[in-house]
Every structure is written in C-alpha cells, then in structure tokens.
Amino acid sequence: MKRTIVAAAVMAAISGSAFAQEVKIGGKLDAGYQFKRTQNLQTVYGASGAVTNSASTGGVTTETQGDGGASTSRITVGVKEDISKGISAFVDLDLRFTNVHEGKTGLNNNDKKVMGLISPIGKLTWGTYNITNLHLAEKPYMVSPRDMEIVKFGISGARESQLTARVTEWVSPTVSAGPVKMLIKGQHAFGDFQKDGTNNDDTTTGGTNPGNRNSGRTTAAGFETAVGDNIFTFNFDIINRQSQGVMPTIENGMVITHTHFTVRPIKDLKFSMNYNTFKGRNPNITDANGGSAFKEKNTNMVLSYNWDNTLEIGAEFSKLRDLGSNRNSGRGYMLGGAWFLGKNLYLYVATMRTDYARNESYAGGKYDGTKANFSDTLTKRDERYTRVGLVKDF
C-alpha cells in the first residue's frame, strides 16, 4: 500500500498555469528466513596432483541462512507532475535492502532509479531498471500484485539478471479493441565501451585487427496483450547483448527470448507458462570457433489457486534443456503458500529444489545488468531452499 501526498498547486512563473505534483511513498518489509543448501563441486586431483574442475555430482553441501525469503525489503518513492497539457514528468525510486547472509548492509545494487515523460505518443524512461519489464501482462508468480517470489519460475533466470544500468525505454500507448489491449516496447542499454569513450576501432584489447571490439550494448523489444481482466495475457520479448569482441576472452554476446502466457479458466485458478531460449558462447572454454557455444531451452509452468484473497497455494515445475556442448540439463520444483492475515500483512512458507545433471563451477555466459560489460559467470549446482516469514506492505 502506498501513501499519497498531493502537493499544493504552484503557479508557473511564466505561463501562470497551475500544476499539481503527486508524491507516493511506500515499501515492504520481509521479516522472514531463508535456509539454503547448495551441493558444491567435488574437488578432483589429476595425475600430476593439480586440482581439476570435475563434472562429478559428488562434493559437499553448504548451508546458509538469510532474510527476505519471499521478496526483497524496500522503500519506494514515486513523484509525478503535469508539466503541460497531456505531458507529465515522473520519478520512480525502488530502494532495496541487501540480505544479511550476503555479508552486506544498507542498499544493494538491485535498486530501481528512473525518471521519464508520459505523453500521447507513449512513455519514455531513463535510468536503472529491468530489461523487458512487464506492463500489461501480470507477473507469473503466485501472488503477482504483491510481487511475491514464493512460487516463481525456478531456473528460468539461470542465464540472466535483468536489472540493468543506463537503460532507455519507450513504451507505446495501450491500444484497446473491445476487451483486448496491446502495446509494444523497445529498450537500449549503452555498453561499457561506449560509456568509457573507447571507440570500436581500438586495437589494444582483443587482438590486433582494427574494428575488432564492439561496445557490448544491449537492445530489447517486445509486445504484450491482455484480454479482459487478465483472463488471458501474452507477451514476447527478445534481448540481444552485443559481444565485446571476437576473441574468446571477451566473447560474451547473447540472444535471449521470453514467451509467456497466463490463462484463468475460472476466477481464482491461474495457469502460467513461460518458454525461454538462451544462445551464446562461453568465453572461458576455447574451441576452433573462438569459444564454446551454448544453447538452452527452458520451460516453466505454474499452477495456483486463491481462496477469496485469504489463502493461496501454488506449485511450479521447471525444465531446462542444454543443447550446446555443455549438455548439462536441469529441473526445478517449487511448492508454496501464503495466508493473508490482513490487507497488507501475510504469512508465507515455501520450498524449492533445483536438480542438474552435473554440478559444475562454470557453464557458459550469463547476462547480469549490474556487472561490468553486463557479463557474469554461471554455476549449475543442485540447491534446496526453505522459506518462511512475514511480509508487511506499507
């Protein structure tokens, strides 16, 4: 829930017009526990006695305990002001607090900080936020209005962390034709080489041939539709992260697609399905083509039921198929529930498990918008989560 403060209208110095400013302040606190067990990679010694990276499923299990099992605690601030007829300016801050078990305090790097303009030709946004945010289609989580992550797509995000710095987004106005609504959107994130002023013809990194290094920029596009009161929603997104160069050490380009739909066959029953593809090259494993190719297909299904906004239960199944040279597929399972004690207070409990063919320390490239070059490494290890706690919205 958000508290709204409407500022007094201020007379413009030149035009004499009055413009109202609206401020919304809110947030949430997740006072929960998260117990996590991870199956580590088994240490194997080669013939020379050196440690090698094994694909064995052995190893030891580590356990950690953290807070924020359902969602990240945060403070949100929204400001909107009409600056002329049909045009408004806005600011949207989502300041999120780091979990205790990460050994940090204060705000973390997953904050949303944006501003922009709303006009008859669409919504233009600049700042730090998720690539391909949903607008019409509801989130495929168990309780989407509350942004809960109890029954969330298990391993659908294995190759990506979508919060991204330096994003510009345009979203078209929503077009309605009877009960059907639709919009389109496009996004662009400047790469680090554009940010630091290095041009694409620099020969000091990634080989000796001019023009062999690109900026690492990311672009995305998509469209979304909804029928009625989210009786049926569908959206498709495609993300292209440009590679930093052609050499194996800096080849980190990726193409990611998301296809998602939700169906409500009856009022309180929801079925969601998500299909993702991830395609790119692993810069840390060299082959004749300058890096080991990977391609994965990920299918996720969620089924949930809500009893008059008092109790909701849900289950999820996730299947990841590794079609590249790595051939390390996996599955994920989730089961959870939430009991709403009040309008803005609820108790949750959930369990999750991921199961890969092998426990590996590195398995291809990962898109992470908070990292340099938007690039990170990916691990595939068996994990189990248990989550329980209270969430208070305010």
> How far is the C-alpha of 165 from the C-alpha of 130, rounded, in Å?
9
Report which of residues 193 and 213 the model is more confident about: 193
Q: What is the pLDDT of residue 14?
A: 42
Q: What is the mean pLDDT of residues 158-166?
A: 76
Q: What is the mean pLDDT of residues 99-108?
A: 48
Q: Is residue 99 part of a domain?
A: yes
Q: Is the pLDDT of residue 304 over 70?
A: yes
Q: Distances in Å between the alpha carbon of 297 and those of 155, 168, 282?
A: 11, 28, 16
Highest mean pLDDT among 39-43, 104-108, 139-143, 325-329: 325-329
Q: Is residue 77 part of a domain?
A: yes
- Rounded to 5°, the CA angle 381-387-393 comes to 130
- What is the pTM assigned to this prediction? 0.81
Q: Is 379 helix (H, G, I), strand (E, B) or coil?
A: coil
Over the stretch 352-372, which tens digit does the pLDDT of each residue have?
888 888 887 777 778 877 777
* Mean pLDDT for all residues in the chain: 76
Report which of residues 56 and 233 the model is more confident about: 233
Number of H helices and number of E strands within the chain? Answer: 1, 26
Residues 6+ apart with CB under 8 A from 178: none
Q: Is the pLDDT of residue 78 over 70?
A: yes
DSSP 79-115: EEEEEETTEEEEEEEEEEBPPGGGT--SB-TT-EEEE
Q: Is the pLDDT of residue 102 over 60?
A: no
Highest mean pLDDT among 122-126, 129-133, 233-237: 122-126
Q: Is residue 15 part of a domain?
A: no
Q: Is the pLDDT of residue 303 over 80?
A: yes
Percentage of the chain with pLDDT > 90?
16
**Amino acid present at 56:** S
Report which of residues 23 and 141 the model is more confident about: 23
Over the stretch 237-255, which tens digit does the pLDDT of each residue have?
999 888 766 554 555 778 9
Query: Residue 259: which H helix or E strand, with range?
Result: strand 254-266
Domain with residue 282: its CATH number is: 2.40.160.10
For the chain, the domain total comes to 1
Q: What is the pLDDT of residue 190?
A: 81
Q: Is residue 100 part of a domain?
A: yes
Q: Is residue 167 part of a domain?
A: yes
Q: Is residue 370 part of a domain?
A: yes
Report which of residues 139 and 45 the model is more confident about: 139
Q: Is residue 14 part of a domain?
A: no
Over the stretch 320-338, which tens digit does the pLDDT of each residue have?
898 876 788 889 888 888 8
Residue 217 sits in which domain range? 3-9+20-393
Q: What is the pLDDT of residue 123?
A: 95
Q: What is the mean pLDDT of residues 215-243?
A: 87
Residues 6+ apart with CB under 8 A from 31: 67, 389, 390, 391, 392
Q: Is the pLDDT of residue 13 over 60?
A: no
Q: Is residue 282 part of a domain?
A: yes
> How far is the C-alpha of 357 from the C-alpha of 57, rounded, in Å?
8
